Chains A and B, each alone.
Chain A
Amino acid sequence: MNIAVGVDDVHEGELVNTSEAGPAPKRIVVSYGFWIFLLSDIVMFSALFAGYAALARATAGGPTGSQLFNQQTVAMETAFLLLSSYSCGLMSLAINSRGYFGTFLGAGVTFLLGAAFLSLELREFATMIAIGATPQRSAFLSAFFTLVGCHGLHVAVGLSWLVLMMIQLAMRGFSPVVERRLHCFSLFWHALDIIWVLIFTVVYLMGVVP
């Protein structure tokens, strides 16, 4: 990742503190702002995690996590998502060197892996609903579907964003705006990965411990 701190307006021989260097350049401002937004998103997920933790045992006589969770599916989902982060990283390298083919390839692989993750997750949800483990069954299931579903929704938004960015890249090339936005996308995608790690730990791994 290329977050380099640029100090504009440095006069010869003058050592200037970053905090006194004046307004930061746009690419830093945009990345920083997006990062603050990501932190707020993580706070939102924390509230959902708190809700999940409080309600994890409130199964109301219905199915529990250990009865429902399929660890193989979860492992595959994790693999897809982590690999998609890797391909996203490769995409970032291609962006740095302004390589169109590398960027489109990286984006395509990321998209496919992300879509694979989503389809596995949707199948998991469909199976659960089919056997009556609906979010309306118990508080535990409400919390599960909301937390995991919210993450899935973020992945879906991310995939749509990726498609739009590729369209914009094809139309405008590597303009500063496009580069900034692609950088924000990769921050977003990696953050989703981190959240997923937390989800599979707290929900799926801890969920099957008696």
Chain B
Amino acid sequence: MRYSSPVLLLVSAAALSGCSEGVLDPKGPVAAAERLILFDSLGIMLAIVIPTVLATLAVAYWFRASNRRAGYQPEFAYSGRLELLVWSIPLMTVLLVGSVAWIGAYDLDPPKPIPSSAKPVMVQVASLDWKWLFVYPEEGVASVNHLTIPVGTPVSFELTSSGVMNSFFVPQLAGQIYTMAGMVTHLNLQADHSGTYRGMSANFSGEGFADMHFNVDAVTPEAFAEWVASTRSSGPVLDAQAYAALVKPSKAVAPFTYRSIAPGLFAGILSAGLQPDDGLCVGYPKSMRAER
């Protein structure tokens, strides 16, 4: 019991060693802001929790039955002042952390576009069993289990699923967002440093789930243009037939690209899970509204 504080220090030290990847090593503005919120709230909460734990240990130890020096106050069962303190400390803490939560929820709302002078790259994402399809509608190419994006440029995602629920997640760049059939979710992120970052599905989707990770290559805008050009020059075409073959369940799919995409492909994936006159489409606010 009395080594929970040193343990915590050890853990933090050890955690810092895990700093080279994941949430604690952001490479873009969204992830960096999220990490800041994490540290701020952790600090505020630790300021309450550590003294409480130390006080608990101190009180339990001092007032142990064998300690005759401790004052025995068998009638001490109420104190108005203590009650006030005891209710107000958690309440004020919550108000403080709560305002951080509120601001963060709005500032970092996934569909919120990232302010930038660069034109955002659009990527349409579909989670399949058990791989990721990334469609670049403006560039006219697509890739499977690999994402290439330009550095310093906002990337705007529209996400859906061909079937079961998944969650698109690149920890070093942004938070995650669910992908659901017949519905579109949105996410915006940006990589500020070149590098390769790990992406994954963060919602269990079946047998091949563990292999649904992919690499995100953040490259210079010139390298990105080169990548687009070379992708357009070779590889299969993503038409309805190719998609029908792709959507069949497969695991641990090696990354590959498509040199062109049939028009309306993403809309087709979306509407496969959607009926034409679905009232859900009309009645709900934008975050849950399926879009064409």
Contacts and interface: CB of A to CB of B under 8 A. Distances in A.
Interface of A: 56-61, 138
Contacts, number: 21
A60 B282 contact: no
Interface in B251-283: 275-280, 282-283
Contact of A61 (B275, B280, B282, B283): B275
A59 B276 contact: no
A119 B280 CA distance: 33
Contacts of A57: 278-280, 282-283
Interface size class of chain B, counting residues whose CB lies under 8 Å from the partner chain? under 10
Contacts of A58: 275, 278-280
Nearest to A54: B280
A58 B280 CA distance: 6
Nearest to A62: B275
Interface string B163-179: 00000000000000000
A61 B279 CA distance: 10
B280 A60 contact: no
Nearest to B275: A60
A56 B279 CA distance: 8
Contacts of A60: 275, 277-278
The 6 closest A-B pairs by CB, nearest first: A57-B279, A60-B275, A61-B275, A61-B277, A58-B280, A57-B283
Given A57-B283, A60-B277, A61-B275, 16 more contacts: A56-B279, A57-B278, A57-B279, A57-B280, A57-B282, A58-B275, A58-B278, A58-B279, A58-B280, A59-B277, A59-B278, A59-B279, A60-B275, A60-B278, A61-B276, A61-B277
